[in-house]
């Protein structure tokens, strides 16, 4: 049996797009990943940090959209 995912997120009678929840979750996960990269020293191998940040963010958005909160 398949259940229907929510189309909107309701917070006190205000409806939000699931994209907001996915984007905020992806941003938080990207910050955590960046902190881990900086602590382990992996960030010294990255030549374009801002482009890498955006790439990791986009990857997390796609993963969260596919498996956690469908947009």
pLDDT confidence tier of residue 12, bands split at 50, 70 and 90: confident
pTM score, whole prediction: 0.81
The pLDDT of residue 4 is: 66
Pairwise CA distance, residues 28 & 41, whole Å: 20
Pairwise CA distance, residues 62 & 41, whole Å: 26
pLDDT digits (tens, 9 = 90+) for 30-65: 999 999 999 999 999 999 999 999 999 999 999 998
pLDDT surpassing 60 at residue 1: no
Domain boundaries, the chain: 17-68
pLDDT confidence tier of residue 13, bands split at 50, 70 and 90: confident
Q: Which of 34, 5, 3 is nearest to 17 (CA)?
A: 5
């Amino acid at each position: 049996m398949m259940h229907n995912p929510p189309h909107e997120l309701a917070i006190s009678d205000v409806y939000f797009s699931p994209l907001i929840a996915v984007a905020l979750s992806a941003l938080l996960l990207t910050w955590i990943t960046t902190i881990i990269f900086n602590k382990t020293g992996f960030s010294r191998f990255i030549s374009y940090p801002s482009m890498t940040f955006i790439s990791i963010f986009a990857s997390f958005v796609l993963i969260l959209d596919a498996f956690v909160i469908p947009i």
